[in-house]
Structure 1
Amino acid sequence: MQLKKFVAKDMRRALMDVRQAFGEDAAILSTRSVEGGVEVVATPAPASPDKAAEFNAANEPSVSKAEFGAMRSELNSIRSLLQQRLNGLAWDQFARQTPAQAAIWERLVAMGLPGNINQRLLDLAGQARTLDQLWRQTLSALVKMTPVHSADPVSTGGIFAFLGPTGAGKTTTIAKLATRFVLANGPEEVALVTTDSFRLAAHEQLRTLGRILGVTVRIVDNQHSLGDTLQSLAHKRLVLIDTAGLPSRHPEQQRQLSELADQPQVQNWVVLPCTAQGQVLQAAWKTCSTAGVSGCILTHLDEACVMGEALALCIDRAVPVVYETFGQAIPDDLAVATAQALVKRAVALGRAQAATPVDRARVMNNFGSQPPSRAAAAKRAAI
């Protein structure tokens, strides 16, 4: 293992020397005060256990894989603590230099927005004389950044497929949109299709809806491909396709996504539940995007604690929000999405979260997780 001593007049300078020599992944083994400053012993990021064993076999004393694994775990813990400390130093520096922007940052964190979006918003907001003015400018920037469809595409007809995880609200959203269309145009020009050919309950739910509305219902299975089914419904003005919410590696998921990708006349929308964590939303997007996604629907807004993670995904992926849903009532509790309404709801949820003090560690990590431009500058200033 490569070890090196760094002596500097203070800890901040020593840590900077360590990073310059070994990079951001360096591990600190020990620190102590010495005459004229501090001494830090550090090592580069550990290699894999197998490579370490090979190295140690030729360089006595030899270290076992188990011992090396324990050492690497301890070094990673030290590195994590060091990163938290650096995040804290960067945040404190930022808060001292620009207290109004720091206050806005905390509000954005309470809304669930990630650091990269927060940085962009503050850059776009620019300067302001008061905190309230800066907040209004920040929200105005968020409205402009939020992509929306700004129309009701289902009202004019077409073929639309609804993708997303189980429980996202796909079938309920289809029921709302189909009911609205039937009330305005009658049932003769509407058809419902499901690609979920292995869950009986899914068939029955859609068939029940079809009987209530008096519309055609078709099932895609081994005997009836999606292409053939859609061709048989070419005379219908509106076709809504329900899909199964399955893990990304499930063979049925790959089959239905592949079939949808082969039908360019179908508009694929991903249904994102705002009650889900950001990682779940990102995984859903990654899976569904293979079929080609032209829009999204944000659901369960009445049950959500924050909306920032869902909005951030839409902003980062440039996928417009088509509808928002906020309850189970059919055909109500659904609206064409507008950026102003989405941001207003996100602010209201964030205000409820901010009723209790925002966790300091969460704010610091949010600030430190952003791309280098702002956080790195603050870290360099802090050091």
Structure 2
Amino acid sequence: MQLKKILAKDMRQALLQVREELGEDAAILSTRSLATGGVEVIATLSPAPVVKKPTEAAAVPPPSVSKAEMGAMRSELHSIRTLLQQRLNGLAWEQFSSQSPLQAVIWERLSAMGVPGFLSRQLLTAIKPGKTLDQVWKQVLGSLVKALPVLGHDPIEQGGVFAFLGPTGAGKTTTIAKLATRYVLQHGPQDVALVTTDSFRLAAHEQLRTLGRILGVSVRIVDNQHSLDDTLESLGHKQLVLVDTAGLPSHHPEQQRQLTLLRDQPQVQKWVVLPATSQAQVLRAAWKTCSTADVSACILTHLDEACVLGDALALTIERDLPVVYETFGQSIPDDIALAQASALVKRAVALGRRQAAVPVEKERLMTEYGSQSPAELRVAGLN
């Protein structure tokens, strides 16, 4: 076995040198930070095993590997890969913290807000040198406010047809109730209509019918006897039409049919309702599903129940998806407001401070930071 000790100023240079001297098949045996600065890496390139051909008399078929043994081998390789990746993440974070302590503090604050790594790295690249921690923090938050897309005006006041998409429990019907009630209180019920495409749940019909009776507005149901085209055409004289939709799984055939029907209605503005209480994967899945209907904006709901807002804000920035409203309670019509970038970021910071009171898991920080360093992972053969 050939061993090689590599000394370099940082992990990136060390891994590049390992690849240059030992090739792509090199394995990292150990790594450590040096007191004098830099890192030490011990790597090896094991020679390929020599397979001797058995004599004709002693020739036997090669022993077969059972599925259980193969599974154990794969599990062990996965464990080794995971341990090595954790170690590389740890070294990357330690190096970052020692070389850029101010930026590391900012990264921890953003992480407490739920801001994902890719957005944290973008925000940190705009930092100007020679500033204090407070100055840098204000600059980062200012950059976040500028990056956050918001509509900036109340489209409901102008009238039109609006469809609300999103997963079950996102708050679509409650948001419709708030907007419809507010409009009726200001302009009366004669020019308002409510429509539902949810023909799967009786409770959904009853909830909207009850709201319609309370407000004194028309309620229509899209089903096999009443198409969306015909329904919207019959309501063409109404100033404001709010369309509730069924929150179905993305693979459900009726979900795709529903989205296709809405996409074929260019006069309808489609908004996706995103619950701020959901994890990043759920938010992204909701947007991906609804985006096929040409979604133009979003509404952030359940802000009063959210622990962090970073994931939701990052999605709107990444997809350039303007936020129209934010909702923060069940009270109708009070707990809704026009989205303002500064207010959303302020709320995200406040929630982040609560999270910061709980000790941040160092392993999560290291993993998050390490995931934004693809070059090191590629060199080590982990990508």
Q: Is the 8 A contact 1:327 1:333 kept in 2?
A: yes
The structure having more radius of gyration, on CA atoms, is: 2
Opposite residue 287 of structure 2, the aligned amino acid is W
2:257 is equivalent to residue 255 of structure 1 = yes
Q: Report the equivalent of 1:131.
A: 133
Per-residue CA shift, 1:104-150, capped at 9, x if unaligned?
00000000011110011111233342100000000000001101101
Q: Which moved more, 1:85-94 or 1:122-131?
A: 122-131
Q: Is the 8 A contact 1:152 1:336 kept in 2?
A: yes
Opposite residue 210 of structure 1, the aligned amino acid is G
Q: Report the equivalent of 2:354.
A: 352
Opposite residue 267 of structure 1, the aligned amino acid is Q
Q: Is the 8 A contact 2:27 2:44 kept in 1?
A: no
Query: d(CA) in 2 for partners of 1:326 and 1:304?
Result: 9
CA drift at 1:61: 4.7
Q: Is the 8 A contact 2:118 2:372 kept in 1?
A: yes
Opposite residue 283 of structure 1, the aligned amino acid is A
CA drift at 1:252: 1.4
2:32 is equivalent to residue 7 of structure 1 = no
Q: Report the equivalent of 2:279.
A: 277
Q: Report the equivalent of 1:208.
A: 210
RMSD (Å) for aligned C-alpha atoms: 2.7
Counterparts of 1:219-298 in structure 2, within 5 Å, are 219-298=221-300
Provide the secondary structure at the position in 2 that maps to 1:179: helix
Number of residue pairs aligned between Structure 1 and Structure 2: 353
Q: Is the 8 A contact 2:162 2:271 kept in 1?
A: yes
Counterparts of 1:162-181 in structure 2, within 5 Å, are 162-181=164-183
Provide the secondary structure at the position in 2 that maps to 1:187: coil
Q: Is the 8 A contact 1:27 1:75 kept in 2?
A: no
Flag the 1:360–1:99 CA change in 2: closer, same or farther, 3 A.
Answer: same
Flag the 1:18–1:371 CA change in 2: closer, same or farther, 3 A.
Answer: closer
Flag the 1:198–1:127 CA change in 2: closer, same or farther, 3 A.
Answer: same
Q: Is the 8 A contact 1:6 1:14 kept in 2?
A: no
Q: Report the equivalent of 1:65.
A: 67
Q: Is the 8 A contact 1:27 1:79 kept in 2?
A: no
Per-residue CA shift, 1:243-296, capped at 9, x if unaligned?
011100111111111100110001110000011111111111111111111000
Flag the 1:6–1:148 CA change in 2: closer, same or farther, 3 A.
Answer: farther
Query: d(CA) in 2 for partners of 1:43 and 1:120?
Result: 43
Query: d(CA) in 2 for partners of 1:123 and 1:39?
Result: 33
Structure having the larger proportion of residues in helix: 1
Opposite residue 221 of structure 1, the aligned amino acid is D
Flag the 1:91–1:43 CA change in 2: closer, same or farther, 3 A.
Answer: farther
Q: Report the equivalent of 1:17.
A: 18
CA drift at 1:41: 5.9
Opposite residue 273 of structure 1, the aligned amino acid is P
Per-residue CA shift, 1:47-82, capped at 9, x if unaligned?
xxxxxxxxxxxx945433332221011111110111
Q: Report the equivalent of 2:146.
A: 144
Per-residue CA shift, 1:153-197, capped at 9, x if unaligned?
011101100000111000000000001111111100000000001
Query: d(CA) in 2 for partners of 1:42 and 1:184?
Result: 78
Query: d(CA) in 1 for partners of 2:46 and 2:217?
Result: 70
Percent identity between the aligned chains? 67
- Equivalent of residue 321 in structure 1, options 320, 323, 328: 323
Per-residue CA shift, 1:184-236, capped at 9, x if unaligned?
11100000000001210000000000000000000000111111110000000
Q: Is the 8 A contact 1:160 1:239 kept in 2?
A: yes
Provide the secondary structure at the position in 2 that maps to 1:280: helix
Q: Report the equivalent of 1:184.
A: 186
- Is there any run of 5+ residues in structure 1 with no aligned partner, and where? 45-58
Q: Is the 8 A contact 2:151 2:339 kept in 1?
A: yes
Opposite residue 273 of structure 2, the aligned amino acid is V
Q: Is the 8 A contact 1:322 1:337 kept in 2?
A: yes
Q: Is the 8 A contact 2:85 2:377 kept in 1?
A: no
Flag the 1:280–1:267 CA change in 2: closer, same or farther, 3 A.
Answer: same
